[in-house]
Structure 1
Amino acid sequence: MPDSDDDKISDLEAALWLDDPRFARALGKGRPRRPREYRRGRAWFALAIALAAVVTGAVLPQGLLLAAGLVMTALAVNLFGSDRERRIQPPRS
């Protein structure tokens, strides 16, 4: 016997709450916000700090600061990737 639509909708709702509770809460209030995949505030902040370290390391003859800034830049750029999906486990009955 196939599941009813209500069961499927409740499963989707449970998965949404597990994946991004802030988005689900805002959606329930009628004021949706960006899903987690599109929130990039921390990534921009990390990139700005990393680029500041690169510029400072290049202006001042500081090789260690320059190298650390380059590594931090690579890590910050990785935060922009959209493939940061978490696997959602279906709720157990």
Structure 2
Amino acid sequence: MPPSEDHRLVDLEARLEREDPRFVRGMSSGRPARPREYRRTGAWWGLALGVALLVSGIAWAQGLLIAGGLVLVGMAAQLADPDPARMTHRGFGRR
């Protein structure tokens, strides 16, 4: 491999290490972890909390809890939803 190609690979490895160290550690140990863009654990926790707020707001007839639950569910659903740019090839996105 020419030195210029080797230098590009080293730069790529360093950038990946800075962006997602958990993924790089998993690859080096032989037990790969999902890349950061595919981890949605926080979004699911936010969605669960938002639904809990919404249900408790409906049960107690508190408009502020209902509004907060709706906002949190909307934010978490946006985070849990896959990237719309990747879905265009399946016919779901804009043309």
The 3 A distance-change label for structure 1 pair 18 and 81 is farther
> Cα RMSD (Å) of the superposition?
1.7
Instruction: With the length of structure 1 as denominator, give the TM-score of the two structures.
Output: 0.78
Cα distance per residue 1:54-88 (max 9 Å; x no partner): 111112211111011111112212222555xxxxx
What number of residue pairs does the alignment pair up?
Answer: 82
Q: Do the aligned partners of 1:54 and 1:65 also contact (CA within 8 Å) in 2?
A: yes
List runs of 5+ in structure 1 lacking aligned partners.
84-93
- Offset from partner CA, 1:15-45 (integer Å, 9 cap, x none): 1001101101111112111000111111101
Name the structure 2 match of 1:89: none
The aligned residue for residue 27 of structure 2 is 27
**CA separation in 2, counterparts of 1:6 and 1:17?**
17
Name the one with the larger helix percent: 2
Alpha-carbon distance in structure 1 between the residues aligned to 2:54 and 2:24: 39
Q: Secondary structure at the match of 2:80?
A: coil
Query: Please, which runs of 5 or more residues in structure 2 have no aligned partner?
Result: 84-95
Partner of 1:60: 60
Q: Is the 8 A contact 1:43 1:79 kept in 2?
A: yes
Q: Which deviates more from structure 2 when the two are superposed, residues 68-77 or residues 33-42?
A: 68-77
Separation of aligned partners in 1, 2:66 and 2:3: 58
Provide TM-score, normalisation by structure 2: 0.76
Identity %: 50
Relative contact order (C-alpha < 8 Å, sep 6+): which is higher?
1
